[in-house]
A and B are shown apart, each in its own frame.
Chain A
Amino acid sequence: DIQMTQSPSSLSASVGDRVTITCRASQGIDNYLAWYQQKPGKVPKLLIYAASTLQSGVPSRFSGSGSGTYFTLTISSLQPEDVATYYCQKFNSVPLAFGGGTKVEIK
């Protein structure tokens, strides 16, 4: 099975900072990757699908890129409401594994 590895596992940044989270697949998955945001105590929310397509209603400060085995989620200007754990998930074939998550906090 293809493994999904996120880094870092946690980060702390200041409001307004540019934040980048990485997700690596152990084998190529084309662009079949989604990103989610999960705020504490809440249900996960789809942010990005097909590696770079923003889900409707998601603020434009979120962006995704990558293909094959290397993907990134970028928050261009971190806001207090972005405090959450972020997960990637592969969709090229089953099992649809998640990455381990990246916890984002405000410094």
Chain B
Amino acid sequence: QVQLVQSGAEVKRPGSSVKVSCKADGGTFSGHSINWVRQAPGQGLEWMGRIIPIISVTNFTQKFQGRVTINADRSTNTAYMELRGLRSEDTGVYYCARGVSPGGLDFWGQGTLITVSS
């Protein structure tokens, strides 16, 4: 079965950017979406956006529109999420997760801790 393997933790300065990768090991993206979910320390889950690699369509929640880019390389089964203009409140764990029909995120990456600090 597919495993989603994310890149490692990073510490970033305010105002910088971060790019997190998510590789599908043991499978392909096929027709599924890859979603990005954020969890701030001690807080709930927040859906950021998604890409449907087979048709290269992306959707975002308005909060992150203009500050986040999501893309995917189908040849390596790797998705990427870049967040720009980092601020302290962006600190948290970022997850990628596979979306399936009719709705649900069935496989999740292990999470990537991004710490934004001066």
Residues of A within 8 A of B (CB): 1, 32-34, 36, 38, 43-46, 49-50, 55, 85, 87, 89, 91-92, 94-101
Contact = CB atoms under 8 A, between A and B. Distances in A.
Name the residue among B37, B46, B99 with the largest chain A CB count within 10 angstroms. B37
A96 B50 contact: yes
A3 B22 CA distance: 28
A42 B110 CA distance: 8
Interface of A is mostly: loop
Contacts of A92: 103
Interface residues of B, number: 25
Nearest to A91: B103
Contacts of B50: 94, 96
A33 B103 contact: yes
B41 to A, nearest CB: 12
B47 A44 contact: no
A32 B104 CA distance: 9
